[in-house]
Amino acid sequence: MNSISVNVKNLAPMDSISVNVENLAPMNSISVHVENLAPMSSVSVNVENLAPMDSISVNVENLTPMNSISVNVASIDLHKCK
């Protein structure tokens, strides 16, 4: 059981944060917490091939104009997640 945590505070204008995770084993967790984005900064979270009982959490606080937040999750086998 692994845990990945990404915490970002006070991004400057036009900064970009990208989190890419592939092929997690079962019962892992990913947490992305972002605070105080400056204008025109962006956050991207891409997750592929989740295993059963994996957890993804994305928290964003204090957005300003022209921020971009992207969360993409691919290849979830819902039949295994009972």
Transcribe 5-34 into DSSP letters.
EEEEE-PPTT-EEEEEEE-PPTT-EEEEEE
Backbone phi and psi for residue 77, each to the nearest 5 degrees, phi listed first: -95, 95
78 Ramachandran zone, left/alpha/beta (phi>0; psi -120 to 50) = alpha
Q: Can you give the residue ranges of every domain in the chain?
A: 3-76
Tens-place pLDDT, residues 18-61: 888 888 788 888 889 988 888 888 888 888 887 788 888 888 88
Residue 76: pLDDT band with limits 50, 70, 90:
low
Q: Is the pLDDT score of 1 beyond 80? A: no
Q: Is the pLDDT score of 80 beyond 60? A: no
CB 56 within 8 A of CB 30: yes
Give the predicted TM-score (pTM) of the model: 0.72
